[in-house]
Amino acid sequence: MEPLMQIFTEMVFGTPILYLLIGAAIGIIIGALPGLSATMGVALLLPLTFGMEPIEGISMLMGVYVGGVSGGLISATLLRMPGTPSSVATTFDAYPMAQRGEAARALGIGITASLIGGLLSFVALVTIAPMIARAAVKLSSFEFFSLTVFALTLIAVLSQGNVFKGVASGLLGILFACVGFAPIDGTQRFTFGSLELSAGIGLLPLIIGLFAVSEILRTIVKGEEKMETLKVNLRVRGLGFRLAELIQNGWNILRSSVIGIAIGILPGIGGSVSNLVAYAQAKQASKKPETFGKGNPEGVWASESANNAAIGGALIPMMTLGIPGDGVTAMLLGGLIIHGIQPGPLLFKTNADIVYMVYWAFLLGVVLVFLMQIFGMRTFPLILSIPKRYLYSILLVLAVVGSYVNDNRLFEVWVMLFFGLVGFILEEFDVPLGPLLLGFVLAPFAEVHFRRAVMYSGGDLTPFLTRPVSALFLALAVLMLVYFLVKGFRSKKTNPEGSANGAV
Amino acid sequence: MRKDWWIGIALVLVAVLCIWQIEMTTPLELESDPGPLLFPRIAAIGLLLCGLGVVLSAKKEKLSKKLFNLQAAVLVAALIGYVILLDILGFLISTLLFVAFSVWWLSRDGEKKLVPSLVAAVLVAGAVYYGFTEMFNVVLPRGVFN
C-alpha cells in the first residue's frame, strides 16, 4: 500500500481518530470560552502527547488546534465576545444576526465557512509545502541563518503595538534560550552557578507558563464580565442557511481563504489578524457595505473562512523550513523536536510519514470539527455556562502536572510559575508574547547555523551577503526593521493605544 | 511616572544583567568559531536599545493601579504553596488541598461553599492522578511517602 494511504488507514481505523475526536472536543470548548484560546489548549495538552505514539500525539494536537480556532465563533455569536482572537471579526455580524433571532443561521454559516476555509488551506498545504521543501533542500547554513533572522524580525515588527516592545520580546526569547550549555563548545551561559539552570530552560514550562497560567491570571484580574447568553432557538434543519447563499458567497469565501492562507504563511501572525483583514476586504467588495456590523452574513463568511484558512498556511513554513507561522505552530514544532523529529526541508525525505500524519490529521480535524459543531449546536449554551471556578482550578492543576511530567523535576514547575508571572507582567505592559516564544524556539537553530556557516567559511562573514538568497532575506529584515522603527517613533503622538493582546 | 517607563527601565535592567553575566564568562576558543558569547551579546545589546526605545517612545499614560488584584495574588500564593507541598505531601494530598481552596476562593462572594469545593477537589485530584499514572505511566511526586 502507498505510505500515504497506509497512514490514513492507521489513523482512521485505530486509536488516533479517538485522540483526534478528544482533541477536537477540547479545542472547541476551549476556543468557545472567552479568555481561553487554541494556544492555551495546545500548551496544556502538549505534555500529554509525550507518552503517545507520534501519530496519536499529532492527531490530538491538530484536533485541538482546528477545534480551538473554529470554536471561537460560538461565543462570538452568542455572547458578542470572541472566544479566541481569531474570531474578533465574527462578532461584528454574527451577534447582531443572533439578536434578531438568526443565531442558528449565523452559527451554521460560521461552521460551514470554517469547513471551507480549512479545506481550501488543506489544498494549499499539500500543494505548496512539497514545492517549498524541494527548493529549501538546496539552502545551506548561510541561508537558514538569514531566513531565521528574517522570520524573527517579521514577527517582532508585525506584532501589534509598539515595535520596540515586539523586538524586545523576541530578544528576551533568544536570551532565555541561551541559558544553559552553549551548542558546539558547551560553555555555560546565564546559569548563575545553578546546576538546575545548566540544563537550560525547558520548552514546556515556558509555553505552559506564558500561554496558560498567565492567561488564567489575566482573565481573573479582568474580573468576571457579565455573560448573558442570548436565549436562542437552535433547532434547525440542515445547516441553517440556503445553498444559494453559499454559492452567492463563493467569491467572498475564496478571497477570504486566500487572505487567510497568505497571512498564515507569514511568520508570527495567523488567525488573529487574518479574520480582520478578510472582513475589511469583504466589506470593501460588498454591494451593501453599510449593512456590515449590523448582521450581514457576508462578514461571518469572510471572518470564519479566513481564520481557519490561516491554519494550513501556518503549517507550511513550520513543516518545510522549521519556522513556525504562529504561536501554536511554534508549540507543534517544539513538540516534534522533543519527539526527536526536526521539521525542515529534509523532513519530506527522511520522515515523510510524519508529513502525511500532519496532512491527514489536519484534513480529518477540519471535517470532524465541522460535524461535531453542526450536530452539537444545541449544546453550545451549555459549554458557555461551565463555571469558571472549576475550570480554572482544573487548568492550573494540569499546568503544574504538565510541566512536571516531561522531566520529573519540580524545578520545571517553578520555571513554569516564573513564566506565568513574566507573561502576565509583559502582557499587562502590552509586550506581545508571540515573538518571545518564536525567539526561544528559533534561537538555538539560528545560532547553530550561524556558527556552522562561519566555521565552514573559515571565519569569513561575507558569504552571508554575497550569497543571493541569504543577502535577500537579510536585506528584507533590515529594511523592515528600519521602516517600522522610524514609524514607531513618528507615530508616537498620533497612534492610539495599540493592543498587544492575542497577537499570537 | 508613565506606564511604559516602568517596562522600558525593567528591560534595560535585564539587558544590563545579561551583559554583565556575558562579560564574566570565559568561553572556550575554537578556531574561526565566533564563539558562544556573540549571540547572547548581540541579543542583550539589542534588548538594551529596545528598552531605551520603549522609554523614549512612551505615551503619556500613567500606570493604572488596577495591576494588583487580590483574587489573582492569593491564587498565585496558593500555587506557590501547592508546589512546595508537592515535595512534602505528594501529588494526591496537595492537589486535593489546592483544588479545594482554589474552587472555594474563585467562587463569588456569598457563593463560597465548602462541600462543592471538596467534591471537586476529590474528583479532580483522583481523575488526574489516575489518568497520568495509569494511562500515561507517569510518576507523580510522592513527597515523604516515597
Q: Rounded to a whole number, what is the distance in Å from the CA of B124 to chain A's nearest CA?
A: 7
Average pLDDT over every residue of A452-462: 86
Q: B106 and A178 in contact by Cβ < 8 A?
A: no
- The residue that leads in pLDDT, A222 or A253, is A253
Q: Of B56, B66, B132, which is closest to A401 when you measure between CB atoms?
A: B132
Q: Which residues does chain A have within 8 Å of residue B87's beta carbon, measured at their own beta carbons?
A: 410
Residue A106: name the closest of A225, A232, A229 by CA: A232
Query: Is a pLDDT exceeding 80 seen at residue A226?
Result: no
Query: Is a pLDDT exceeding 90 seen at residue B75?
Result: yes
Distance separating the N- and C-terminal Cα atoms of chain A? 40
Average pLDDT over every residue of B60-83: 85
Average pLDDT over every residue of A407-420: 93
Q: Which residues does chain B have within 8 Å of residue A392's beta carbon, measured at their own beta carbons?
A: 102, 106
Residue A38: band (very low, low, confident or very high) from pLDDT cuts 50, 70, 90: confident
**Residue B137 Ramachandran class (φ > 0 left, ψ -120 to 50 alpha, else beta):** left
Distance CA A282, CA A292 (A): 9
Cross-strand bridge partners of residue A180: A189
Residue range A328-349, pLDDT digits in tens: 888 899 888 887 888 888 899 8
- The residue that leads in pLDDT, A85 or B96, is B96
For residue A488 the three cell numbers come to: 514607531
Distance CA A174, CA A443 (A): 5
The dihedral formed by the CA atoms of A329, A330, A333 and A338, expressed in degrees to the nearest 10: -130
E-strand spans in A161-316?
Answer: 180-181, 188-189
Distance CA A74, CA A27 (A): 12
Judge residue B24's burial from the number of C-beta atoms within 10 Å of its C-beta, 0-12 exposed, 13-18 middle, 19 or more buried: exposed
Residue B67: band (very low, low, confident or very high) from pLDDT cuts 50, 70, 90: low
The one-letter amino acid at A496: P
Interchain CB contact of B73 with A (< 8 Å): no
Distance CA B47, CA A171 (A): 6
B62 DSSP 8-state letter: B
Q: Of A213, A392, A451, which is closest to B34 when you measure between CB atoms?
A: A451
- The residue that leads in pLDDT, A238 or A175, is A175
**Residue A459 Ramachandran class (φ > 0 left, ψ -120 to 50 alpha, else beta):** left
Q: B136 and A174 in contact by Cβ < 8 A?
A: no
* In a domain? residue A334: yes
Distance CA A134, CA A286 (A): 40
Query: Is a pLDDT exceeding 60 seen at residue A495?
Result: no
**For chain B, how are helix, strand and coil distributed in percent, rounded to 5?**
75, 0, 25
* Chain B nearest-CA residue for A493: B59
A482 membership: H or E segment, kind and range = helix A468-490
Q: Of B27, B61, B83, which is closest to A400 when you measure between CB atoms?
A: B83
Residue range A112-134, pLDDT digits in tens: 999 999 999 999 999 999 999 99
Residue range A41-99, pLDDT digits in tens: 899 999 888 888 899 999 999 999 999 999 999 989 998 888 788 888 999 999 999 98
Share of chain A above pLDDT 70, in %: 94
Interchain CB contact of B65 with A (< 8 Å): no
What is the ipTM, given to two decimal places? Answer: 0.94
Query: Is a pLDDT exceeding 50 seen at residue A244?
Result: yes
Angle at which helix A88-99 crosses helix A297-321, to 10 degrees, equals 150
C-beta separation of A362 from A77 below 8 A: no
Residue range A168-215, pLDDT digits in tens: 999 999 999 999 888 877 788 888 888 888 888 988 899 999 999 998
Three-state SS sequence of A39-76: HHHHHHHHHHHHHCCHHHHHHHHHHHHHHHHHHHHHHH
Residue A227: band (very low, low, confident or very high) from pLDDT cuts 50, 70, 90: low
Residue range A464-477, pLDDT digits in tens: 999 999 999 999 99
- Sorted by sequence, the CB contacts under 8 Å of residue A262 that are 6+ apart come out as A313
pLDDT at A167: 92
C-beta separation of A89 from A277 below 8 A: no
* In a domain? residue A502: no
**For chain A, how are helix, strand and coil distributed in percent, rounded to 5?**
75, 0, 25
A502 membership: H or E segment, kind and range = none
Q: A220 and B71 in contact by Cβ < 8 A?
A: yes
Q: A413 and B86 in contact by Cβ < 8 A?
A: yes
Q: How many domains does chain A have?
A: 1
Q: Of A165, A187, A217, which is closest to B28 when you measure between CB atoms?
A: A187
Query: Is a pLDDT exceeding 70 seen at residue B146?
Result: no
Distance CA A437, CA A105 (A): 38
Q: Which residues does chain B have within 8 Å of residue A431's beta carbon, measured at their own beta carbons?
A: 7
* Chain B nearest-CA residue for A400: B83
Which of A411-430 are b and which e, b meaning 16 or more Cβ less than 10 Å from the residue's Cβ? bbbbbbbebbebbbbbbbbb
How many contacts (CB atoms, under 8 Å) link A and B? 179
Residue A497: band (very low, low, confident or very high) from pLDDT cuts 50, 70, 90: very low
Distance CA A416, CA A209 (A): 5
Report the DSSP pairing between strands A180-181 and A188-189.
antiparallel
Q: Which residues does chain A have within 8 Å of residue B61's beta carbon, measured at their own beta carbons?
A: 497
Q: B6 and A413 in contact by Cβ < 8 A?
A: no
pLDDT at A284: 92
Residue range A302-338, pLDDT digits in tens: 999 999 999 999 999 999 998 887 788 888 998 888 8
Minimum mean pLDDT range among A230-234, A305-309, A337-341, B95-99 = A230-234
* In a domain? residue A497: no
* In a domain? residue A503: no
HSE-up of residue B46 (Cα within 13 Å, Cβ side): 23
Averaged pLDDT score across all residues of chain A: 88
Q: A175 and B4 in contact by Cβ < 8 A?
A: no
For residue B97 the three cell numbers come to: 488541598
* Chain A nearest-CA residue for B134: A51
Residue A114: name the closest of A90, A98, A97 by CA: A90
For residue B130 the three cell numbers come to: 489516575
C-beta separation of A114 from A304 below 8 A: yes
For residue B145 the three cell numbers come to: 511517602
pLDDT at A162: 83
Q: Which residues does chain B have within 8 Å of residue A164's beta carbon, measured at their own beta carbons?
A: 50-51, 53-54, 57
**Domain of A258?**
3-490
- Interface with A, mutate which of B26, B106, B113 (most A CBs under 10 A): B106
Residue A35: name the closest of A361, A370, A386 by CA: A386
Largest CA distance in chain B: 70
Distance CA A367, CA A147 (A): 34
- Sorted by sequence, the CB contacts under 8 Å of residue B26 that are 6+ apart come out as none
Residue range A254-301, pLDDT digits in tens: 999 999 999 998 876 667 789 999 999 999 999 999 999 999 999 999
Most confident range, picked from A16-20, A390-394, A406-410, A454-458: A16-20
- Sorted by sequence, the CB contacts under 8 Å of residue B56 that are 6+ apart come out as A489
- The residue that leads in pLDDT, A93 or A229, is A93
- Interface with A, mutate which of B83, B97, B117 (most A CBs under 10 A): B83
pLDDT at A498: 40
Query: Which of B 84-113 lie inside 8 A of A, CB atoms?
Result: 86-87, 91, 95, 98-99, 102-103, 106-108
* In a domain? residue A501: no
pLDDT at A496: 43
Residue range A373-388, pLDDT digits in tens: 999 888 888 888 888 8
Minimum mean pLDDT range among A265-269, A350-354, B14-18 = A265-269
Residue B131: band (very low, low, confident or very high) from pLDDT cuts 50, 70, 90: confident
C-beta separation of A67 from A24 below 8 A: yes
Q: A185 and B53 in contact by Cβ < 8 A?
A: no
Q: A167 and B46 in contact by Cβ < 8 A?
A: yes
Query: Is a pLDDT exceeding 80 seen at residue A159?
Result: no
* Chain A nearest-CA residue for B129: A401
Three-state SS sequence of A97-112: HHHCCCHHHHHHHHHH
Q: Which residues does chain B have within 8 Å of residue A176's beta carbon, measured at their own beta carbons?
A: none
Q: B28 and A186 in contact by Cβ < 8 A?
A: yes
Using CA atoms, how far residue B82 sits from A215, A237, A400, in Å, is: 19, 50, 9
pLDDT at B23: 87
Residue A205: name the closest of B134, B145, B83, B51 by CA: B83
Q: Which residues does chain A have within 8 Å of residue B76's beta carbon, measured at their own beta carbons?
A: 217, 417, 420-421
* In a domain? residue A476: yes
pLDDT at A415: 96
pTM for the whole thing?
0.88
- Sorted by sequence, the CB contacts under 8 Å of residue A208 that are 6+ apart come out as A43, A44, A46, A47, A399, A402, A403, A416, A419, A420
